[in-house]
Structure 1
Amino acid sequence: MIESIRLTKRYGDTVAVDELTFTAEPGKVTGFLGPNGAGKSTTLRMILGLNAPTGGSVTVNGVPFSSRPRGLRHVGALLDAQDVHGGRSAHAHLSALARGNRVPPSRVDAVLEEVGLAKAARRRIGGFSLGMKQRLGIAGALLGDPPVLLFDEPLNGLDPEGVLWVRGLFRRLADEGRTVFVSSHMMAEMEATADHLVVIGRGRLIADQSLREFSARNASRAVLVHTPDLAALDAVLRAEGASVCGEGDARARVTGLSAARIGELAHRHGIVLHELATRTSSLESAFMALTADSVDYLAGEAQ
């Protein structure tokens, strides 16, 4: 379990993390989301004891991670897949980590096999693609067989097969009762993988709830209609208090009424419908709407 209580980090007058309180529980994949500059990386570094908090606290299974000897046996982490010695082989890199954490040498071959790098074990890391380095970073996180795992943007550089593999890996680790904490910008993957979401903006907590609760509270729903008599349907629906937005080709997006109610009204007024379908916005859309006021850098923003 990861428990953050009023965790704060200041750099001079800048508050990077502002009294952040949340819990990442065992048996769940917790997605850690926020716009660029929200404080996600700083939070991860404080969890691992790489940055000291200005205030508050963060513990891993009840104690600060920095107090743990042989840390890889307690927490496995991937923060930056590029932060490796390019002149070493994958096997040598993991062997050094294993020795420093008193991990059995047999684990090196085991994790290389698990992440699909067994055939590249003796190759120098400098010749690896970004996707291969991501796999090596994941191998390093798994090396000590830890109960808690942290991943910062683990899907960068992975091909579709690799993305599916990581999704399955995270699910398996959580099902084994481990705490899996994943920071990612890939909302579609978080929607397919995460059980719980912690969302921050400008260092402050915005949401801490299950994926289902987050989607139900923040996602928007609309009904897509297609009719040869859009004008008549528009008048009927607006009279019922609905909002109707034409989308061309005799189609419109309706909010404020359910698909069932729209169908009933169309039937009552003799209006033919060619299509009637409910559309729910994606996690990405819900995330963008919720964090709109916390984005520091907007593309196309006026100077």
Structure 2
Amino acid sequence: MEPVIEVNELTKRYGGKTAVDRLSFTVRPGRVTGFLGPNGSGKSTTLRMVLGLDAPTSGTATVGGVPFRAHRRGLHHAGALLDAGHVHGGRTARAHLSALARGNGIGARRVTEVLEEVGLADAARRRVGGFSLGMRQRLGIATALLGDPPVLIFDEPVNGMDPEGVLWVRRLFRRLAAEGRTVFLSSHLMSEMEQTADDLVVIGQGRLITAESVRDFAARGTRLSVTVATPRPAELTAVLTAAGASVEGEGEGGREGAAGAGKLVVTGLPADRIAALAFENGVLLHELTTRAATLEEAFMALTADSVEYLAGGTR
């Protein structure tokens, strides 16, 4: 059976609060799928329902066509890291993994293999209570890999990782997807999503906003802007505004100084049209740089109406 995560009309209510609201999406093998949403959007609740840790109020969440709880020896079907802190601090890393291995019919050799794979072989006999957050994250990833499962789910896996660890995680996820596994990754780090994910599932206030490729998502939220440096910003602003552009000053350089120089950020006109208008009006340009919006800017634009808590108490 294909290792697909399928969420269909999934709903979870806690009293009068709806955490997840008729959510539907599919996560397919061979790709890294990022799971995004503002704080309080229902991401963690959704992941817990996919893994059978929370029961939905209505709707379904399946792994490989059946609810995860229906799988015997679940670690052979899906591995997950939801919270690196949920490990008994008095156990060693090897003891923690060995206990899970016995309960899922996994041999001791596999415990050694995953400890080596995540870089914890030398710390295998150390108590987890003395681990740094980055080491706990590595142990959580080892736990997810223990059953060699076709489906892997990770919630904020690079928290506490140093740059080398982040690069290792990024390469690991890409390799797992290349092996044909389903990799579902929740993170608030847009830079990691840009580097790692192929597809995105974006939710807000428990509802689906979009499910599409990273490229298409970025394009949806992209508004090209052009940075222009000129010794005559006021004159160029008037010309570009008359042509239908939106023009703003860029920081301190956006205001005319003693020499009259300034930088402008222009939207609504492409760089070649700006250059042509400047030439036609005899305005000298020192810089003309086109800039596309980042994935983070696209995310902020598309989820602006779904943010539960805003700084300053505004809504």
TM-score (norm 1): 0.98
Runs of 4+ in 1 over 3 A off after TM superposition: none
Taking the aligned partners of 2:18 and 2:234, their CA distance within structure 1 comes to: 53
Deviates more, 1:168-177 or 1:282-291: 282-291
Give how far 1:197 is off: 0.6
- Which residue identity lines up with residue 48 of structure 2 in the other structure? R
Q: Where does 1:137-152 land on structure 2 (aligned, <5 Å)?
A: 137-152=140-155
Match of 1:4 among 4, 7, 10: 7
- Which residue identity lines up with residue 238 of structure 2 in the other structure? A
Are 1:284 and 2:284 an aligned pair? no
Query: Which residue is 2:54 aligned to?
Result: 51
- Which residue identity lines up with residue 108 of structure 1 in the other structure? V
Give how far 1:262 is off: 1.0
Give how far 1:154 is off: 0.5
Give how far 1:232 is off: 2.1
Structure 2 unaligned spans of 5+:
254-261
Match of 1:66 among 36, 46, 69: 69
Taking the aligned partners of 1:80 and 1:175, their CA distance within structure 2 comes to: 25
Are 1:299 and 2:302 an aligned pair? no
Q: SS at 1:172's partner residue?
A: helix
Query: Which residue is 1:86 aligned to?
Result: 89
Taking the aligned partners of 1:87 and 1:301, their CA distance within structure 2 comes to: 42
Are 1:272 and 2:284 an aligned pair? yes
Taking the aligned partners of 1:289 and 1:216, their CA distance within structure 2 comes to: 12
Q: SS at 1:300's partner residue?
A: helix
Taking the aligned partners of 1:47 and 1:159, their CA distance within structure 2 comes to: 29
Query: Which residue is 1:258 aligned to?
Result: 270
Cα distance change of structure 1 residues 202 and 302 upon mapping to structure 2, 3 Å threshold = closer
Report percent identity of matched pairs: 69
Q: SS at 2:79's partner residue?
A: strand
Taking the aligned partners of 1:171 and 1:17, their CA distance within structure 2 comes to: 29
Are 1:106 and 2:118 an aligned pair? no
Are 1:167 and 2:170 an aligned pair? yes
- Which residue identity lines up with residue 98 of structure 2 in the other structure? S
Deviations 1:185-230 (A, max 9, x none): 1111111111111111111001111101100011222100001111
- Which residue identity lines up with residue 235 of structure 1 in the other structure? A
Taking the aligned partners of 1:244 and 1:85, their CA distance within structure 2 comes to: 57
TM-score (norm 2): 0.94
Structure 1 unaligned spans of 5+:
none
Are 1:36 and 2:39 an aligned pair? yes
- Which residue identity lines up with residue 190 of structure 2 in the other structure? M
Query: Which residue is 1:13 aligned to?
Result: 16
Taking the aligned partners of 2:286 and 2:111, their CA distance within structure 1 comes to: 60
- Which residue identity lines up with residue 135 of structure 1 in the other structure? R
Taking the aligned partners of 2:174 and 2:213, their CA distance within structure 1 comes to: 15
Q: SS at 1:158's partner residue?
A: coil
Contact 2:30 2:177 (C-alpha < 8 Å) held by counterparts? yes
Taking the aligned partners of 2:275 and 2:164, their CA distance within structure 1 comes to: 42
Are 1:157 and 2:179 an aligned pair? no
Deviates more, 1:132-141 or 1:276-285: 276-285
Deviations 1:24-65 (A, max 9, x none): 110111110111111111100100011111111111111111
Q: SS at 1:200's partner residue?
A: strand
The total of aligned residue pairs comes to 303
Taking the aligned partners of 2:122 and 2:273, their CA distance within structure 1 comes to: 60
Query: Which residue is 1:95 aligned to?
Result: 98
- Which residue identity lines up with residue 237 of structure 2 in the other structure? D
Are 1:22 and 2:25 an aligned pair? yes
- Which residue identity lines up with residue 269 of structure 1 in the other structure? N
Deviations 1:146-187 (A, max 9, x none): 000000111111111111111111111111111000111111
Query: Which residue is 1:129 aligned to?
Result: 132
